[in-house]
Chain A
Amino acid sequence: MAEACGGPDAVARHHASGKLTVRERITALLDPNTFREVGKLAGRASYDKNGVLTSFEPAPYVMGVGKIDGRPVAVGGEDYTIRAGTGFGSDRRKGGQGGFIEDLAYEFRIPLVNLIDGTGGTVNTTRRKGYTVVPGYGQDGCERSTDLLGIVPVVSAVMGTTAGGPSMRAILSHWSIMVKGTAQIFAAGPPVVQRAFGEKLTKEELGGTAIAVDTAGTIDNIAEDEADCLRQIRRFLSYMPQNVWELPPEQRCGDPVDRCEDALADIVPRSGRQAYNMKKLLELVVDTGSLFEIQPTYGRALITALARMDGRVVGVVANNPMFGGIMDYKAARKQGHFVELCDMFNIPLVFFADIPGLMVGAESEAAAILREGVRARYIGFQVTVPVFTVIVRKCYGVAGGGVIDRAGLNFKIAWPSGNWGSLPVEGGVKAAYRRDIESAEDPERREREIEEELRQLASPFRTAEAFAIEDLIDPRETRPYLCQFIEALQPRLRTQLGPKCKTGVRP
């Protein structure tokens, strides 16, 4: 009876809106024939006076264990076809915050996938109980959801319109995704907003992908449709270990370690003012087809991606010159979150730096660029995984200092196009040598002279000779160089497994 979901009519309506039922989603997500459901009998049954079952409404939540790429995973999701996936008042919740499936993921130390398609609490519960409760009361708490974030990978997929509790459940994850057009997420939906402000918005305007993903970064990635969403979840988990006590699985694709792409030699334009395609650069370096961007449409001045090098998982952070490569508050948030994610799951980091600095200007200051930028740097100082820095071009200022492994080996390599400092020569000269310039006979010429002198000193070879940068390499050698060191650091990762205890107050 449970497999009928909310009945043929409700299922047909659900399908007509471009959605799969929760059972179809779980089947499509998992390896074939691996789903073992728990709590299938849970629901509301009525019996006649002889004790014969007369009707049954299944609990609007389906969950259990299954496998993805042969590895166990806990999975659960609301059944929207039954009372829009709202709670049903059982003694023990099946899923969502505080549910059985969360406990299972925690106890078994396996990843959790939340397929979210519920509208959260309902005033009907108050009617049934006869009293109101303080938020977070009883089984509704998020203590377990919070514990999980330090123990096992948690993925949330928003696959319908969610508000309140299920929205919170979506955010309490390591990675989240939502389906374009059919999914929306907000703190409260259009009717509540209209009552509060008189503002009439559609649910897509309030919480569609354009707001929730591209603008706010509330959710990380976008799926074109439900099939794409489930594929991307499988892909994300392929980079993750089962828990913090294990390393991510190695997965080789036959891409040779010594592949040296000639295209890397001239990908960076001679003029420091011109942009180039950083994503293409990354693809030339990492294992073919292994680059998986996290938050690709938010804070686009920065690229954060999971990838593999000779089959071993790495976290890639790269400034994107197509968007100036400047660290704005969005890029700073994105970097901090991604670095923390990689650190939690023992994934070494590789920075590809081309960063002129923090975004300046009144707008940026008002968005707390200093606090956001310094927080990203603070998070970077606390990492326990090895960090490599490849200085592709610029590396300047407060933001530039955040791409370097100060907490560890401080291992940085540069391309010949690299240049760095506390601030660029242009502009910096005028500030530092004002008196010298102003007292000269020809101030402009004097400024140019000082600039030229400093520019010669800024040759990356001088820094390499002083061993203030560990290596200066031919860009084509980047892949073999990094692959060898990422192999060499594996013992370090194996000896630091387990939960991370961090102290201090983030700025």
Chain B
Amino acid sequence: MARIEVKSEITGTVWQVKASPGDKVDSGDVLVVIESMKMEIPVITEDPGVVKEILVKEKDPVAEGQVVAVIDG
């Protein structure tokens, strides 16, 4: 099992957390939604696997490149 870090591509605040630890996810699934510039920007996993950790909660500020979730894939 490889540890895969899923990063936010954009600076903003966490709008919604869509996945929880233990969830099975497929490539293209939305883990977290970031609000930035009045837009809801999905943070998507490119790899399938099982969510190990979600590192942010709603309303948290997020920087570009920040790891928001970890997946075992």
Q: Which A residues lie at the B interface, using CB under 8 A?
A: 272-275, 300-301, 321-326, 356-357, 359-361, 363, 424, 426
Cα separation A415 to B1 with both chains bound (whole Å): 46
B15 to chain A, nearest CB (A): 9
- B14-73 residues at the A interface, CB under 8 angstroms: 36-42, 44, 63-64
The 7 closest A-B pairs by CB, nearest first: A273-B40, A324-B39, A326-B37, A324-B41, A356-B37, A324-B36, A323-B9
| Interface size classification for chain B | 10 to 19
- Name the B residues within 8 Å of A357 (CB-CB): 37
Interface of A is mostly: loop
Pairwise interchain contact B39-A321, C-beta atoms closer than 8 A: yes
CB distance from B19 to the nearest CB of A (A): 17
CA distance A471 to B52 in the complex (A): 50
B63 contacts which chain A residues (CB < 8 A)? 363
Q: Known: A323-B9, A361-B11, A363-B11. Is A275-B41 also a contact (CB below 8 A)?
A: yes
- B18 CB to closest chain A CB (Å) equals 13
**Min distance, Cβ B11 to any Cβ of chain A, angstroms:** 6
- Known contacts A273-B40, A326-B37; 18 additional CB pairs below 8 A are A272-B38, A274-B39, A275-B42, A321-B39, A322-B41, A324-B10, A324-B39, A325-B39, A326-B36, A326-B39, A356-B37, A356-B38, A359-B37, A360-B37, A363-B63, A363-B64, A424-B38, A426-B38
User: In the assembled complex, how far is the CB of residue B47 from the closest CB belonging to chain A, in whole angstroms?
Assistant: 16
With contacts defined as CB atoms under 8 Å apart, how many contacts are there between chain A and chain B in the complex? 43
Q: Are A356 and B39 in contact (CB-based, < 8 A)?
A: yes
Q: Which of A322, A363, A426 contacts B42 (CB 8 A)?
A: A322
Quick one: closest B residue to A325, CB to CB?
Answer: B39
Residue in B10, B39, B41 with the greatest tally of chain A CB atoms within 10 Å: B39
Chain B residues in 8 Å Cβ range of A361: 11
- Inter-chain CA distance A273–B9, complex, in Å, is 17
Q: In whole angstroms, what is the CA distance A324 to B63 when docked?
A: 14
Sample (23) of A-B pairs whose CB atoms are under 8 Å apart: A273-B38, A273-B39, A275-B40, A300-B9, A321-B39, A322-B41, A322-B42, A322-B44, A323-B9, A323-B41, A324-B37, A326-B36, A326-B37, A356-B37, A356-B38, A356-B39, A357-B37, A360-B37, A361-B11, A363-B11, A363-B63, A363-B64, A424-B38
Q: How long is the Cα–Cα vector from A274 to B39 in the complex, in angstroms? A: 6
Q: In the complex the two chains form, what is the Cα distance from A323 to B36 in whole Å?
A: 9
Please indicate the chain B residues that have their CB under 8 angstroms from the CB of A272 in the complex.
38
Shortest CB distance B42–A (Å): 6
Return chain A residues, CB-CB under 8 Å to B64: 363
Query: How far apart sit A300 and B40, CA to CA, in the bound complex (Å)?
Result: 16
